[in-house]
Every structure is written in structure tokens, then in C-alpha cells.
């Protein structure tokens, strides 16, 4: 009997869920290659934790994988964090399949190892968990969520006691602890163990009491807002946040307001995806709203769409455009030379120009909000007032140290209200920003490619860049080795500059390409990105 078959039999005996158990039995009875694929590798920590399709075996998300992850995390905390056992682990979950079981098992693993577990009862937005970490002074926290992934996925996001997602070396240390643990023999405490503290609505109420403090123009309430929770857990919390922030109740897409792990009306529950916000845009058009907004399923991201022109057309705002609006609003209404704003290397360069105009410190970080938080914590003497990444992640205060789609929604509604009071619109506000700093245009592409090939491509473009791309000379090149990214500047034509970037994805077998131009057309930028795609394909 093969080694992976022996291990699979052990997993079959230990698996607590009947559906996963049936799947594993089918694998044992069927194709040996599929069984080998499931048991030849393990999920590894990626963006602050685990994320994969739900299924049987160590390379999928299931309760045995979660128990091993919880055990490795708790062992790491007990060995490295003073007072970790008493401070405890804060745990919450979204509404996806098996999320509640994953959260409960995490609490039971922690209690069995002698660590307090604070389990937030019910379905919880990620920002609520992240915001409560420093409030409760816990040693760490776990959010069970797959964020905006497809319906069949789930995930396991880890934060440390400072409230930010894990970064090296903690991620590798936790992974090493996990690797030493047999997932089939992890001890579990009883559900009613004294070390498991179930928290009711208290965590959400504390977060909601804070949310109104992000408002900077509290008198502006004139905007008409539409909203969709996209079948996630943000719906009721966002409505409460608007009420507590003295904002009019938004019109909602009723079909998408309640949590549903099947996501019946969206194929891919990500506000960035084409078609994902169609229902809320229809609501905005039919009811003559000023702006419509969407949270992803765990409510840490925010999508925005606005009326465009006078023809009844609507358009989705890119993440950078939302970032510019929020930055403009915040920088004009906050004060002090200790202010700090941050964004990532793949986001627009405009935030840096806005920061310079307001005399504010600016940081550019690696891709991912964990790096934004890490840079903020290291910026001693500076006060974070805003951070964003182009993938619809926004932080409009100095907490939580993660993206927050609910607090950002409150501020977008306020921006729309201020614009209405001033006789303009959000589109008018974007035009005003463009008139001040130049019209910045951004675009993205992706190409299927093995990550190792993508990494070699980045190195090749760094060491031997092409002389031109799309007919424009390459005038400068910069490599960001820690981010595995190369940036190329093209020569200006008629004062119009272009910046192109490329990097392998950290989670998918593809490379991502990013373009930004100043005073260029979207079609011209698209053409240059396609030319970069051609260069990339020709080099591999």
C-alpha cells in the first residue's frame, strides 16, 4: 500500500464531516493519481493564512486541516507571546460553508492546549474582528473567511495581537509548527469548556460605536446611496453603521442582502469582477441614486459605481479612483505634519503627488494589506490617516490595521453628500482631482504562467529590458526584488508619461501586469499593456 494511501486511510478514520468523508472514500476507491494529488502536498500559509477549495485531504480546506493550523498557531503563541494563554485567541467567521465549524474547532483546539478562546458568536465581518483585536488585548486572532473567492472556497486568516495580519518570520514559524503536527490526532476540548468564551453582539456594538468617528464632514447627509452585501455578512452591520453615523438608510438589493454561501445571483462574489455589481447598478439607475456601493462577502473590500454624464450611463470606479476620492477628502479635512498615507507598489502613483501637495508623509509598500499595516507600525512618530490598495482595499483611519469596507462605505457616502451639498457629483470631484494633478489612467492584465517562469521573466526584464514597448522607448527600469516586481517607464510623448509593471501572482498560476498613464487615453494604455504582454510571452 502506498504511503499516501496509508495516510488517506488515517484521515478517513479521523474526518468528522460526512460529506468530506464520502469524498475521501470515493478517492480511495477511485483514481490513484487524484488521491496522490490530494495527499502529496499540504496547504501552506499564503496571504496571512490558508485559502483553498473545501474538500478532502491536506491540500484542501477541511476540519482536519483547520485543526492542524489552529494547533500550530496556538503552539507558536504559547512559545513566543508572553501571557498568551491568559490573553487568548479571538475567533470569528463569515457565512461560507463550514465556516462556523472551522471557528468552533479552532476554539476547541486552543482550549485543549490551555489557551483562552474568545469566540464571536454568529456571522461576522472581517473588519469587526480586526478592530476588536487591540480592544480585547488578545494574543492573536483568526478570521475564517475566503473573502471574495468563489463559492466553493474557504480560508483561515491570522492576525497577531497588534491587530495586523502575520508577516515573516511569524508565518514561516507557524507553518513549521503546523508541519510537526499530525492533523488526525489534534486534541479537542469540549464545546462547553471553561476556556471558551462566547462573545455575543458586544464585539459588533463596540465597533459600530467607533465607526461614526471616521466622519470628517458630519453635516453632509444629502446623498442617495444604494448598497449590496453580495450575499455576504456585511449587510446588517452596514445598515447599523449608516444609522449610527447619522446617514440616511441606503436602498438595498434585497436579493443579495442576506448571507448565502451559494451566492445565487453572482458567479464570482468580487465587486471587481464584470457583472458582479449589475443588480446594485440597476437599483441606482432605476431610483436615480447618487452612488451605489458593494461589499465583498466578508465586507473588508468596497466597490463603488456612479452615474456618468447625463445619458443615464453608469460606470464602475477602479480601486485607484476610489482611493483618490478618499485621499482627497481625508487630506483636505485632517491636519498635522505627522500625517502618513500609504499604498502599494501596484497602485497608482497619484497618492504620492497628493501627499506632497498636502505636506504629508507617503509610503509605498509591497502588495497586500499586511505590508501596509507593517509599514504603518514601523513609521514611528507618524499618524496613519489613510491607506489603500487598488484591489478595493481601503483603510480610512488608524484602525483596524486592515482594510475595512464598512467604515470606507460610510466615508464614501459622506463624500457623495458633500458633493451634493456643493452642487457637484462624485464624477465632478474626480474631474477636479484630475484638473489639479493631471488625469491618471490605470489598467490591468493577467497572463497564465507558472510562478517560477514569471519570476524568471521579471529578472530577465530587469537585467535586459527591451529598448521599446509598443513603439515607445523604455527610459528607466527598477526592480523590487522583495515584491518580485519590475517597473518600466516609457518615454513621454507630448508630456504624457506611462509606467508599466509586471509580477507573478502570489496565489494563482499567472503573471499580473499593471499600467498607469498621465493624460493618456484608456485605449492607448491598453495598447501598451498588450504590447508588454507580447514582450513577456516572447521572453518565456
Integer-rounded Cα radius of gyration of the chain: 24
Looking at the chain, the whole-number percentage of residues with pLDDT higher than 90 is 87
| Domain map (residue ranges) of the chain | 3-200, 208-298, 320-437, 440-539
pLDDT digits (tens, 9 = 90+) for 209-247: 999 999 999 999 889 999 999 999 999 999 999 999 999
Maximal CA-CA distance, the chain: 75
CATH tag, 3-200? 3.40.120.10
**CATH superfamily entry for domain 320-437:** Alpha-D-Glucose-1,6-Bisphosphate, subunit A, domain 3 (3.40.120.10)
Question: Which tens digits make up the pLDDT trace of 290-310?
Answer: 999 999 999 999 999 999 987
- Same CATH fold assignment for domains 3-200 and 440-539: no
Give the cell for residue 271: 465587486
- C-alpha cell of residue 44: 501552506
Measured N-to-C along each axis, helices 426-437 and 405-421 cross at an angle, to the nearest 10 degrees, of 90
Name the CATH code of domain 440-539 (choices 3.40.225.10, 3.40.50.300, 3.30.310.50, 3.60.21.10): 3.30.310.50
pLDDT, tens digit, for every residue of 464-507?
A: 999 999 999 999 999 998 889 999 999 876 556 899 999 988 76
- The predicted pLDDT at position 457 comes to 92
The mean predicted confidence, pLDDT, of the chain is 94
Find residue 511's DSSP bridge partners.
Answer: 447, 504
Q: How far is CA 452 from CA 39, 238, 455, 458, 509, in A?
A: 22, 41, 5, 10, 9
The whole-number pLDDT of residue 507 equals: 66
Best CA proximity match to 532, nearest among 461, 440, 452, 456: 461
Q: What is the mean pLDDT of residues 356-367?
A: 96
Predicted local distance difference test score (pLDDT) of residue 351: 98
| pLDDT for the residue numbered 431 | 97
Report pLDDT for 267: 86
Q: Does the annotation mark 147 as catalytic?
A: yes
pLDDT tens-digit readout, 28-84: 998 788 898 899 888 887 655 899 999 999 999 999 999 999 999 999 999 999 999
- Could you check whether the bond before residue 400 is cis, i.e. omega within 30 degrees of 0? yes
Q: What number of other Cβ atoms are within 10 A of residue 3's Cβ?
A: 10
pLDDT (tens digit, 9 = 90+) per residue, 278-293? 999 999 999 999 999 9
Q: What CA–CA distance (Å, rounded) separates 449 from 181?
A: 33
User: 208-298, superfamily in CATH?
Assistant: Alpha-D-Glucose-1,6-Bisphosphate, subunit A, domain 3 (3.40.120.10)
pTM, two decimals, is 0.95
Average pLDDT over residues 434-463: 92
Q: What integer pLDDT is reported at residue 136 of this predicted model?
A: 98
Per-residue confidence band for 525, with pLDDT thresholds at 50, 70 and 90: very high
Hey, how many other C-beta atoms are within 10 angstroms of the C-beta on 6? 10
The per-residue b/e assignment along 386-404, b for 16 or more CB within 10 angstroms, e otherwise, is bbbbbbbbbbbbebbbbbb
- Per-residue confidence (pLDDT) for residue 46, from 0 to 100: 63
Is it the case that residue 519 has pLDDT exceeding 60? yes
Q: What would the mean pLDDT of 347-374 be, rounded to a whole number?
A: 96
Is the confidence at residue 442, as pLDDT, over 60? yes
Q: What is the mean pLDDT of residues 20-30?
A: 94
- Tell me which of 59, 99, 147, 348 is the catalytic residue: 147
> What's the pLDDT tens digit per position in 74-114?
999 999 999 999 999 999 999 999 999 999 999 999 999 99
How much of the chain, in percent, has pLDDT values that exceed 70? 98
Q: How many residues does the chain have?
A: 540
CA distance 410 to 338: 25
Amino acid at each position: 500500500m502506498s504511503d499516501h494511501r496509508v495516510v488517506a486511510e488515517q484521515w478517513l478514520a479521523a474526518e468528522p464531516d460526512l460529506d468530506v468523508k464520502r469524498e475521501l472514500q470515493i478517492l480511495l476507491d477511485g483514481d490513484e493519481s487524484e488521491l496522490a494529488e490530494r495527499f502529496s502536498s499540504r496547504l501552506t500559509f499564503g496571504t496571512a493564512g490558508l485559502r483553498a477549495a473545501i474538500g478532502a485531504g491536506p491540500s484542501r480546506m477541511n476540519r482536519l486541516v483547520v485543526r492542524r493550523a489552529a494547533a500550530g498557531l496556538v503552539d507558536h503563541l504559547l512559545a513566543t507571546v508572553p501571557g498568551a494563554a491568559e490573553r487568548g485567541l479571538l475567533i470569528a467567521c463569515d457565512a461560507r460553508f463550514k465556516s462556523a465549524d472551522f471557528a468552533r474547532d479552532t476554539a476547541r483546539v486552543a482550549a485543549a492546549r490551555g489557551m483562552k478562546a474568545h469566540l464571536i458568536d454568529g456571522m461576522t465581518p472581517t473588519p469587526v474582528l480586526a478592530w476588536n483585536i487591540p480592544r480585547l488585548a488578545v494574543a492573536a486572532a483568526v478570521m475564517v473567511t475566503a473573502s471574495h473567492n468563489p463559492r466553493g472556497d474557504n480560508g483561515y486568516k491570522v492576525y497577531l495581537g497588534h491587530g495586523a495580519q502575520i508577516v515573516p518570520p511569524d508565518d514561516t514559524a507557524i507553518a513549521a509548527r503546523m508541519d510537526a503536527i499530525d492533523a488526525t490526532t489534534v486534541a479537542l476540548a469540549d464545546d462547553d469548556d471553561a476556556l471558551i468564551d462566547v462573545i455575543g453582539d458586544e464585539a459588533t456594538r463596540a465597533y459600530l460605536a467607533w465607526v461614526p468617528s471616521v466622519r470628517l464632514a458630519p453635516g453632509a447627509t444629502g446623498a442617495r446611496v444604494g448598497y449590496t452585501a453580495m450575499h455576504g455578512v456585511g449587510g446588517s452591520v452596514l445598515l447599523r453603521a449608516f444609522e449610527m453615523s447619522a446617514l440616511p438608510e441606503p436602498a438595498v438589493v434585497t436579493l443579495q442582502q442576506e448571507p448565502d454561501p451559494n451566492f445565487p445571483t453572482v458567479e464570482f462574489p468580487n465587486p471587481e469582477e464584470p457583472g458582479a455589481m449589475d443588480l446594485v447598478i440597476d437599483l441606482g439607475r432605476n431610483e436615480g441614486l447618487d452612488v451605489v456601493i458593494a461589499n465583498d462577502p466578508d465586507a473588508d473590500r468596497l466597490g463603488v459605481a456612479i452615474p456618468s454624464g447625463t445619458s443615464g450611463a453608469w460606470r464602475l470606479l477602479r480601486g485607484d479612483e476610489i482611493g483618490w476620492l478618499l485621499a482627497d477628502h481625508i487630506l483636505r479635512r485632517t491636519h498635522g505634519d505627522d500625517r502618513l498615507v500609504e499604498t502599494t507598489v501596484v497602485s497608482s502613483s497619484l497618492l504620492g503627488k497628493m501627499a506632497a501637495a498636502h505636506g504629508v508623509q507617503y509610503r509605498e509598500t509591497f502588495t497586500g494589506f499586511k505590508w501596509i499595516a507593517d509599514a504603518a507600525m514601523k513609521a514611528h512618530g507618524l499618524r496613519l490617516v489613510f491607506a489603500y490598495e487598488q484591489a478595493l482595499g481601503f483603510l480610512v483611519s488608524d484602525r483596524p490595521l486592515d482594510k475595512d469596507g464598512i467604515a470606507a462605505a460610510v466615508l464614501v457616502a459622506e463624500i457623495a453628500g458633500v458633493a451634493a451639498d456643493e452642487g457637484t457629483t462624485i464624477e465632478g470631484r474626480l474631474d477636479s482631482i484630475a484638473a489639479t494633478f493631471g488625469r491618471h489612467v490605470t489598467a490591468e492584465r493577467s497572463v497564465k504562467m507558472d510562478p517560477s517562469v514569471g519570476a524568471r521573466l521579471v529578472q530577465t526584464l530587469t537585467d535586459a529590458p527591451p529598448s521599446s514597448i509598443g513603439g515607445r522607448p523604455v527610459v528607466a527600469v527598477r526592480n523590487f526584488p522583495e515584491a518580485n516586481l519590475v517597473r518600466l517607464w516609457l518615454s513621454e510623448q507630448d508630456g504624457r508619461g506611462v509606467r508599466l509593471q509586471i509580477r507573478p501572482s502570489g496565489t494563482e498560476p499567472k503573471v499580473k501586469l499593471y499600467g498607469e498613464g498621465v493624460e493618456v487615453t484608456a485605449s492607448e494604455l491598453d495598447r501598451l499593456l498588450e504590447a508588454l504582454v507580447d514582450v513577456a510571452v516572447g521572453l518565456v
